[in-house]
Amino acid sequence: MATTPLTPELIKLAPKVLLHDHLDGGVRPATVLELARESGYQGLPTSDLDELATWFIADEPGSDLVRYLEGFAHTTAVMQTRDQLERVASECALDLARDGIVYAEVRFAPELHQQGGLTLDEIVSSVLDGFVHGTDQAASEGRHIVVRTILSAMRQANMTSTIAALAVQFRDRGVCAFDIAGPEDGFPPTQHLDAFHLVQRENFHLTVHAGEAFGLPSIWEAVQFCNAERLGHGVRIIDDVVQQGDHYELGRLAHYIRDRRIPLEVCPTSNVHTGAARSIHEHPIELLRKLRFRVTVNTDNRLMSGITLSSEFAACAAAFNWTLEDMEWLTLNAAKSSFYPFDQRLAMIDTVIKPGYAALRSR
């Protein structure tokens, strides 16, 4: 079978699908600075735009999840009013569309945006309104994107059932799933079974941050107790894969994840910045791909990692010699794994994604 070398131009032009992206982790540095000035927020480490953009990127040697998370205190501080939330969401949708993304599920934690007196309903409505405005602006530029929302609850707090109910409440307005985020170690997903059971009773969707900073027990609980449909990151499933000479042996959990086609929302650069992987070249995404796990490529936090989805594909292509056909396979994985209703998902695959890659191959 002929293969097509993956160039930066093809990556940029290729239709892409994004399943794991945090709204407060993708704010434009200029917007952070401007909103801080407008609101009187004094906590930024610098008022110089270039220095601020560099400060947010947690890529120094020895960086870990603690350093990586420092930036969120500043982004959430300037996302506390309706106008701020709408602007950030609108710019997010436009930025993703300009990167060639045709479908995105962007997540955020409503409980982190209550400092300005907004209710949870007002917070979610503001973000959804912003996404509508951003997709409309993208369409005016000839770029078509569908942006849907995942509501995350912070696993170290006590609002998971409230946020789960909120996600269900807004399911017909653009919210497509429920998630828990925050520190895995010490806060297992089984502490929030009431929230997961509520989502399941409502025939709604859920994904769980699991298998990033903590290992196999977190993945096992997310799948077997919480019925996670997808795993946020999930890369630590590699701990259940052992090399035996020229082949690899999968443990029972790894077999189960692969057999059930449970999608892994993999975020390579973010994993390097948080210490979950030592480098892109040493990241387990390539082995997981070769072993035919349901791997997807994602950004996690574009601001904190200084990336786009295009640059993620470019970095992996350079490290692993990915072709355009590999990128298409990964994109189709993401499309099939999305929480988009089946008919719309199929139409997107058949009328946007596959024709888009076919056109690139014929260039």
> Can you say how many angstroms the Cα of residue 45 is from the centroid of all Cα atoms in its chain?
26
- The residue among 18, 14, 8, 10 whose CA lies nearest residue 337 is 18
Angle at CA of residue 185, ends 181 and 189, nearest 5°: 50
Q: Output phi, psi for 77, to 5 deg.
A: -65, -25
- The residue among 98, 88, 104 whose CA lies nearest residue 25 is 88
Cα–Cα dist 145/135, whole Å: 6
Active-site residue set? 212
Tokens matching residue 41: 């927020």
First to last CA, the chain: 17
Burial class (CB in 10 A: 0-12, 13-18, 19+), 185: exposed
Contact indicator for 309, 18 with CB cutoff of 8 Å: yes
Sequence-ordered strand ranges (E) for the chain: 16-22, 101-108, 146-154, 175-181, 206-210, 230-233, 241-244, 247-250, 264-266, 295-297
Three-class DSSP category at 34: helix
Contact indicator for 146, 104 with CB cutoff of 8 Å: yes
Task: Kindly list the strands in the beta sheet with 175-181, ordered across the sheet, starting from the edge strand earlier in the chain.
Answer: 16-22, 101-108, 146-154, 175-181, 206-210, 230-233, 264-266, 295-297
User: DSSP label at 353?
Assistant: I
250 has which bridge partners?
241
- Please, what's the b/e burial string for 134-150 (b: 16 or more CB within 10 A of its CB; e: otherwise)? bbeebeeeebebbbbbb
